[in-house]
């Protein structure tokens, strides 16, 4: 009996250590934990009035996780290079799960705004740990022939949990109440945490190190080059498109199924998300097969440019849908190859810091976009803003090619080089 049990345990460990199983566990964990990030968005603006929370404070609460993550990104990446991936990943998942519990407490406790704010700040810290480790795990478990596809899949899990949570929060709260929506998100979060605890192995270090200081910003040329590209992609996609679309629709008198600007913009945003999801894996997979990331990256950056050019002249449901499809394809298709390129050009023991720095660029781009574009829309209109957004990916393409050439001596380096 003892020998049988030992063999069963050994077999389970071999299964768990299978790279595909670990990658799938990372995807599932980040996807399900992401529900809690989005579930609050369709609920809190309406709930704030009932709880006595001002609209300004509601806005601060919804943005708090992004600001805390921005501060935590670099230390999270440094921590990964110091102690490995498993512990920060699991702890980050647990912090986010506890943050989701904070939503439930806020519904019944005094000072609900304080509970929501603390929960969102915790969410940002936890997500910084999860993001830094998820990409590093994918890099550690991949080679040049699979890194692009794996990065695309992991990025999809990281990004799509949030919009799924938005849908979950709206539907479940409408059908069963706010407590049920937050309770379901909490159950998903703790389930994802348990999954990560039992499945995710250590992939990054053999023993804890102390070489990387906690506030180390990775300033290697490949990291800065990829970071600038990530900044531009998220600036135009989240910061410009998502922030202005609800205002753009009534300006061109476009609606879907008789819905108002909010409902119609949600449908068009879903179009971009679905398109991005399809091309996240496709872009990474193709870059693996072609043995170079650069051509596919340039192609999808140009696709983003085409999308915003079409958006600037859109005047119907069809033309707007085509523009959103192109923008989503450009954003998604860039994601997998871009993270894979970062892993290709970064020493393994520095990957955590490189990912943390790259996440800083992305969060600044996504957070700065609305601050810049929304006031300018009132001043100069939509067409100039979208024209600039069409030009920015081309600027990013020049920066990308220039940085890669300076680092490798080649404009189109092979994956193995």
CB proximity list for 108: less than 8 A, separation 6 or greater = none
- Which pLDDT score, from 0 to 100, does residue 293 have? 82
Cα 256 vs. chain centroid, distance in angstroms?
27
* Separation of first and last alpha carbons in the chain: 51
**Residue 18 confidence (pLDDT) above 50:** yes
Give helix 178-199 / helix 147-176 axis angle, nearest 10°.
150
Confidence of residue 387 (pLDDT cuts 50, 70, 90): very high
Residue of 297, 12, 331, 406 lying closest to 155 (CA atoms): 331
CB proximity list for 172: less than 8 A, separation 6 or greater = 180, 181, 184
User: Cα(128)–Cα(156) distance, rounded to whole angstroms?
Assistant: 16
User: Cα(5)–Cα(10) distance, rounded to whole angstroms?
Assistant: 9
Residue of 356, 352, 357, 392 lying closest to 372 (CA atoms): 392
pLDDT averaged over every residue in the chain? 81
Give helix 86-108 / helix 112-140 axis angle, nearest 10°.
160
Cα 310 vs. chain centroid, distance in angstroms?
25
User: Cα(382)–Cα(330) distance, rounded to whole angstroms?
Assistant: 20
> Each residue of 158-169: pLDDT tens digit?
777 776 776 677
Fold of 221-408: Growth Hormone; Chain: A; (1.20.1250)
> Each residue of 77-88: pLDDT tens digit?
888 888 888 889
- Which pLDDT score, from 0 to 100, does residue 75 have? 85
Helix ranges (H only) for 18-110 are: 19-33, 35-38, 44-51, 55-83, 86-108
- Which pLDDT score, from 0 to 100, does residue 319 have? 92
The listed CATH number (3.40.50.9100, 3.40.50.300, 3.40.630.30, 1.20.1250.20) that belongs to domain 2-199: 1.20.1250.20
**Residue 157 confidence (pLDDT) above 60:** yes
- Which pLDDT score, from 0 to 100, does residue 154 have? 79
Cα 7 vs. chain centroid, distance in angstroms?
40
Query: Is residue 311 within 8 Å of 323, Cβ to Cβ?
Result: yes
Give helix 261-290 / helix 147-176 axis angle, nearest 10°.
160
- Global pTM? 0.74
The DSSP call for residue 117 is H
Q: Which residue has the higher pLDDT, 252 or 46?
A: 252
Give helix 178-199 / helix 86-108 axis angle, nearest 10°.
160
> What stretch(es) of the chain map to CATH 1.20.1250.20?
2-199, 221-408
> Each residue of 202-225: pLDDT tens digit?
876 665 554 555 556 667 888 899
């Amino acid at each position: 009996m003892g020998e049988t049990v030992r063999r069963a345990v050994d077999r389970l460990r071999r299964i768990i250590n299978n790279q595909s199983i670990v990658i799938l566990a990372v995807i599932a964990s980040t996807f399900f934990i992401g529900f809690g990030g989005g579930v609050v968005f369709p609920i809190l603006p309406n709930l704030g009035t009932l709880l006595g929370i001002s609209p300004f404070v509601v806005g601060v609460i919804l943005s708090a996780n992004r600001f805390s993550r921005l501060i935590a990104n670099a230390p999270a990446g440094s921590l990964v290079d110091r102690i490995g991936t498993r512990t920060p990943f699991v702890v980050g998942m647990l912090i986010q799960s506890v943050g989701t519990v904070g939503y439930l407490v806020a519904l019944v406790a005094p000072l609900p705004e304080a509970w929501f704010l603390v929960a969102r700040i915790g969410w940002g810290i936890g997500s910084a740990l999860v993001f830094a480790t998820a990409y590093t795990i994918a890099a550690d478990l991949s080679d040049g022939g699979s890194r692009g596809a794996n990065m695309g899949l992991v990025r999809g899990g990281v990004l799509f949990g949030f919009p799924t949570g938005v849908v979950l929060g709206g539907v479940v709260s409408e059908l069963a109440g706010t407590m049920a929506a937050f309770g379901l998100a909490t159950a998903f979060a703790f389930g994802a945490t348990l999954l990560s605890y039992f499945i995710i192995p250590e992939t990054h270090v053999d023993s804890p190190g102390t070489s990387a200081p906690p506030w180390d910003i990775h300033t290697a040329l490949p990291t800065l080059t990829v970071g600038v590209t990530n900044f531009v992609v998220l600036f135009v996609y989240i910061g410009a498109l998502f922030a202005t679309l609800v205002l753009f629709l009534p300006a061109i008198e476009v609606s879907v199924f008789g819905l108002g600007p909010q409902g119609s913009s949600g449908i068009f945003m879903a179009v971009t998300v679905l398109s991005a999801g399809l091309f996240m894996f496709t872009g990474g997979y193709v870059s693996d097969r072609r043995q170079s990331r650069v051509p596919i990256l340039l192609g999808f950056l140009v696709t983003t440019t085409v999308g915003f050019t079409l958006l600037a002249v859109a005047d119907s449901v069809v033309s707007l849908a085509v523009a959103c499809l192109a923008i989503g394809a450009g954003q998604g298709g860039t994601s997998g190859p871009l993270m894979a390129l970062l892993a290709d050009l970064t020493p393994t023991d520095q990957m955590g810091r490189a990912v943390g720095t790259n996440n800083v660029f992305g969060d600044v781009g996504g957070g700065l976009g609305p601050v810049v574009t929304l006031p300018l829309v009132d001043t100069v209109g939509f067409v100039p803003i979208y024209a600039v957004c069409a030009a920015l990916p081309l600027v990013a393409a020049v920066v990308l090619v220039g940085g890669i050439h300076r680092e490798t001596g080649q404009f189109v380096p092979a994956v193995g080089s």
